[in-house]
Structure 1
């Protein structure tokens, strides 16, 4: 008996949470508000938002590791991050929840900021959410790689590499851009995404549904399927109309 396997759906087929847009707008809104405070030098709050090595590590103003992710150097910087931040926050929130996109994203941003400014001179300032954007990219892509099992490993790898090259590799060098924050954020996203999958593998895999088509031979039964536990578990079969 020959059985053909057909994919039906998996964890990424349907959204799991309905508030993706809400948290996308919230994230962008916080960036706009914090940036406005930062740009208005007449406000005393503006001097407490950005991060540099001296203020964080010598003055122990650790909150800056979090606040500086919402601060941007100018309107162009804010706009360049906003589109991807909105899209990624929406998708990650819709499938994995706000605790990942918002909670874990902000925590990852602080880790990225701490690592990057450790490489800077004392008065060099780091601002912006691009580290979080790349973190969310890494998180999403590694989970895509693990979840979309209806495609072969080479096919999944090519898709992920294609997205990385087209969207995440810069076409020109911009002096004021922290590429270290970008790619450390991406690597951190890969690590966190892999850990998330390992912790939730059973739940994620439970969303996989397949159907099995009898290509040749008699109708299947449990004895014939003893060596195909995945088919027994699903107990889902179909035949072509002409059969």
Structure 2
């Protein structure tokens, strides 16, 4: 009697979703374009996308907790973050799907920003995922 080989399937034994490349490119483009708008001051993005306790809690601009996730204050920081963002986006979407990334990541990121903003001085600005 020959031994039977049993392969246990899990998330990472499957091939990544073929759409992962397009989602990665799309999310990266979104972050780069948003950051360009902030850096260039286009459409007053440098004012309208940044979160601060004053804007979010006193002026009730809660959406800023989410828009600030996509923006960066300088190009060096943006490029250095891209080295981790691009492969991480590919892996998260490719193996776990849209519910984990970008959906859950953006929702949790916004709520984390709300918590962070509660601990910051009123006029201090929060920009980007890493602050």
Q: Bin the TM-score by the shorter chain.
A: 0.7 to 0.9
Q: Which residue of 2 aligns with 1:23?
A: 23
CA distance in structure 1 between the partners assigned to 2:102 and 2:111 by the alignment: 14
Structure (1 or 2) with the greater helix fraction? 2
1:176-191 matches, cutoff 5 A: 178=131
- What SS is found at the alignment partner of 1:129? coil
- Contact 1:23–1:98 (8 Å) recurs in 2: no
- What SS is found at the alignment partner of 1:69? helix
Post-superposition Cα deviations, 1:192-238, rounded to whole Å, max 9, x if no partner, equal xxxxxxxxxxxxxxxxxxxxxxxxxxxxxxxxxxxxxxxxxxxxxxx
Q: Which is bigger in relative contact order (C-alpha 8 A, separation at least 6)?
A: 2
TM-score normalised by length of structure 1: 0.49
Q: Which residue of 2 aligns with 1:88?
A: 88
CA distance in structure 1 between the partners assigned to 2:117 and 2:61 by the alignment: 13
1:52-71 matches, cutoff 5 A: 52-71=52-71
Task: Please state how far the C-alpha of 1:9 moved relative to its aligned partner.
Answer: 3.6
CA distance in structure 2 between the partners assigned to 1:95 and 1:33 by the alignment: 26
Task: Please state how far the C-alpha of 1:129 moved relative to its aligned partner.
Answer: 3.0
For residues 31 and 6 of structure 1, do their structure 2 counterparts lie closer, same or farther at Cα, with a shift above 3 Å needed? Answer: same
TM-score normalised by length of structure 2: 0.87
CA distance in structure 2 between the partners assigned to 1:5 and 1:69 by the alignment: 50
Q: Which runs of 5+ in 2 are unaligned?
A: none
Task: Please state how far the C-alpha of 1:41 moved relative to its aligned partner.
Answer: 2.6
Please report the RMSD computed on the Cα atoms of aligned residues, expressed in angstroms: 2.0
1:128-167 matches, cutoff 5 A: 128-130=128-130
Task: Please state how far the C-alpha of 1:10 moved relative to its aligned partner.
Answer: 2.2
Which entry has the higher C-alpha Rg, 1 or 2? 1
Q: Which residue of 2 aligns with 1:124?
A: 124
Q: Which residue of 1 aligns with 2:78?
A: 78
For residues 67 and 42 of structure 1, do their structure 2 counterparts lie closer, same or farther at Cα, with a shift above 3 Å needed? Answer: closer
Task: Please state how far the C-alpha of 1:42 moved relative to its aligned partner.
Answer: 5.5
Task: Please state how far the C-alpha of 1:73 moved relative to its aligned partner.
Answer: 0.9
Post-superposition Cα deviations, 1:130-185, rounded to whole Å, max 9, x if no partner, equal 4xxxxxxxxxxxxxxxxxxxxxxxxxxxxxxxxxxxxxxxxxxxxxxx5xxxxxxx
Q: Which residue of 2 aligns with 1:241?
A: none
